[in-house]
Amino acid sequence: MSLKQTDMLEDHVIELINKLKRVDIVIGIPSYNNSATIGKVVFSFSEGLKKYFPDLKSIIINSDGGSKDNTRNIVESVKPSKNIGIISTKYNGPSGKGSAFRTIFEIAKRTEAKVIVVSDSDTKSITPEWCYALVTPVLNLGYGYVTPYYTRDKHDATITNALVYPITRALYGLRLRQPIGGDFSFSNGALQIFLQQK
C-alpha cells in the first residue's frame, strides 16, 4: 500500500507544522494501546527538553496505531514548557512500527529537524537524562546515528546477544551492543537517506 505524502498526516498535524515551521528536535514515540506506560515516556522527554535544551524549539510526536485505550489522551494531557509542542496523531498505512516511523519521519522532514529521536512507548526505566544522551551526540558532536547501550540482566535480550550483535559485528565490524534497540536518534542527513528507502 502506497500513501501519498498528503495522505500521511492528519489536518491538525499539518496545521501545527505550518505554525511551527522549523524545529530543532523531533521526539517520535510510536504506540498502540500503551496507556499504562506512555505518560512517563512523554513526561521524561518533555522534562529532558526543558532541562537540557530550553532554548531550542522541539516537538514530541505520538504516532499511534489506533489505540483502543486512553493512549492518545494521556499524551496530550502532558503539559509542556515553552518551545515544546506535543501532538498525538493516528498514522495511516499498514499496522506496525514502519507506518508509525513514516509519519514521524515525514513530520521531521517538513519541520527540517536537526535531530530526530525515536523511543519505545513502553520503556519503564526512562529518565529525562535519556533525552540528553540521545540528542547531544547528534546536535553537538556531529554524529549521524546514536544507538542505546542498555544495562541488562544476562538472561535478557537473548536474540540480541546471541544473534543480532554477532551478525552486526561480523558484517560491519562495529560493536553495536543494541543494534535493534527501540530508542535511538539520528541527524537530518540520516533522515534523508531513510526517506529514500521503500
Q: What is the pLDDT of residue 3?
A: 41
Mean pLDDT of 29-42: 94
Q: How confident is the model at residue 1 (pLDDT cuts 50, 70, 90)?
A: very low
Higher pLDDT, 63 or 17: 63
Q: Considering the domain 5-147+183-195 in this protein, what is its CATH number?
A: 3.90.550.10
Q: What is the pLDDT of residue 180?
A: 82
Domain boundaries, the chain: 5-147+183-195, 149-181
CA-nearest of 166, 196, 178, 13 to 87 is: 13
Q: What is the pLDDT of residue 198?
A: 67
Q: Which residues of 157-191 are buried (b: 16+ CB within 10 A; e: fewer)?
A: beebeeebbeebeeeeeeebbbbebebbbbbbeeb
pLDDT tens column, 67-112: 999 999 999 999 988 889 999 999 888 887 888 999 999 999 999 9
pLDDT tens column, 121-165: 998 889 999 999 999 999 999 999 999 887 776 777 788 888 999
CA dist., res. 135 & res. 123, Å (int): 17
Q: What is the pLDDT of residue 2?
A: 39
Q: What is the pLDDT of residue 51?
A: 97
Q: What is the pLDDT of residue 30?
A: 96
Q: Which secondary structure element, helix H or strand E, spans residue 85, and what is its range? A: strand 84-90
The answer to whether the pTM exceeds 0.85 is yes
Percent of the chain scored above 70 by pLDDT? 93
Q: What is the pLDDT of residue 7?
A: 66
Higher pLDDT, 19 or 152: 19
